[in-house]
Amino acid sequence: MIVSEVFIYKFGVVAVPFMDFRHFGKTPSVHCGARTPFFDLTVYNDWPQFEDYVKGVAHDNPSFVQLKTIGRSREGRPLLGVRIGKPAPAGKRKIAVWLDGGNHAREWPAFHVAVYFIEKLVNGYLVDDKITKYVNTLDIYVFPVLNPDGFVYSRTSTRATIRQWRKNRAPENCTGTGPFSSDLCCEGVDLNRNYDIGFSHKNYPFNNPCSDEFQGPRPFSEPESRAVRDFVMSSEIYGRLYALVSMHTHGQLWILPYNYHKRTYPQDFKDLETLANRAADRVFAYRETKYRVGTAADMLGTATGGATDWIKKNTPTKYVYVLELPPDMKTWFAFQVKPHWLIPIGKETWLGIEVIFDQVIEETKNFQPTAETAVTNATDNNSRSPRFRQL
């Protein structure tokens, strides 16, 4: 059912047509054999709804959706996602892309937008020509929640210190400092500071267990970050993962590597920047949501130990981005927008994702991913396998 609702946005009142996802609460959505379980994208959901949804969409669509469990959290929750894509012909490997909802507990919109993407891909298969092409051509991995423990904790109270929790739920570390004291005991690690890139205990606030950005006692100290590292380095996707987009909130920023040091860029930075600008322009054309494009280090300040920085540095993946979803930086502490914005944000962000998918398909149409596995030592950049072998 296609409906039209009026949304008030910062640029005025606009009529926005969209697919009303609320009808999924009545019966599962079914199109040409594809179906998705109930997931209400007009409210914020709890972890059990995410878990049931991800398992359900894989169960209901076995011909082109596969459940992926890449590890478990500190508290034993599964790190769940799906691989959406028709099986490759015998002897062939498909190019892969990765979308995730980020790893910061309080950034609920990013988790829900990732589910919107699953809905779009599954329900559009064999209905929408462009989406059918994506599913037939690519393996699309979507991981909505990479920090389930922190997310569950952030949903337990309306108190700011809990609702705005950012980290995972690592045990207390009693080396923290505050304005007037030291040796404080604080919990949790910022999973997006826990990767082995720019990691240093000399850098404040990343070395303070009582900081939202505590990087952890050592690189990859957390099972959540280790799970992502091990999967991107596994034989399943290493050498064929061509693009990765990790969504966060907030700020309307399209963030490129590298962010552990100012004015530090990969060799193909211009390619990443050009594609990011095209994708941001496509999003802007829809409803004038303006993204700034660049590294976070240059735009905001350095951030060490980032997942996307590490992946770009240590794998053959070419296009690696972080999206800080709306609202923009003028809105104070808006990690959780009103839930009626989830579908509009999902719609406009998907338009940018399409630009990336189209570029990946165009660039790799004559490529065959390598079948080599990652090197044992992920930091040994000189022994990485080739990016992609041209046919």
User: pLDDT (tens digit, 9 = 90+) per residue, 238-289?
Assistant: 999 999 999 999 999 999 999 999 999 999 999 999 999 999 999 999 999 9
Is the confidence at residue 313, as pLDDT, over 50?
yes
Helix axes 307-314, 223-232, angle to 10 degrees: 30
Is the confidence at residue 385, as pLDDT, over 50?
no
User: 327: cis peptide before it, omega within 30°?
Assistant: yes
DSSP 8-state symbol, 147 = -
What 3-state class would DSSP assign to 262?
coil
CA atoms within 13 A on the CB side of 137: 19
User: What pLDDT band is residue 87 in, cutting at 50, 70 and 90?
Assistant: very high
Report CA torsion sign: 196, 198, 202, 203.
negative
- Mean pLDDT in residue range 36-64: 96
- Mean pLDDT in residue range 356-381: 70
Q: Which sequence positions are flagged as catalytic? A: 324
Q: Which residues contact 380 (CB under 8 A, 6 or more apart)?
A: none
CATH code of the domain containing 139: 3.40.630.10
**Residue 2 covered by a domain:** no
Is the confidence at residue 101, as pLDDT, over 50?
yes
- Mean pLDDT in residue range 115-141: 97
**Residue 306 covered by a domain:** yes
Query: How many Å apart are CA 168 and CA 342, to the nearest integer?
Result: 24
- Mean pLDDT in residue range 38-63: 97
**Residue 205 covered by a domain:** no
Token readout for 345 is: 């944000």
Note the pLDDT of residue 346: 97
Is the confidence at residue 382, as pLDDT, over 80?
no
Cβ atoms within 10 Å of 289's Cβ, excluding its own: 23
**Residue 377 covered by a domain:** no
Token readout for 108 is: 């609920």
- Mean pLDDT in residue range 112-118: 98
Note the pLDDT of residue 379: 40
Asked if residues 239 and 223 have their Cβ atoms less than 8 Å apart, the reply is: no
- In terms of average pLDDT, the best of 78-92, 133-147, 166-180 is 133-147
Structural domain for 135, as ranges: 47-156+213-367
**Residue 41 covered by a domain:** no
Q: Give the chain's domain count.
A: 1
What 3-state class would DSSP assign to 172?
coil
Note the pLDDT of residue 32: 54
**Residue 131 covered by a domain:** yes
Cβ atoms within 10 Å of 271's Cβ, excluding its own: 14
**Residue 83 covered by a domain:** yes
- Mean pLDDT in residue range 67-87: 98
**Residue 235 covered by a domain:** yes
Q: How much is the pTM?
A: 0.88
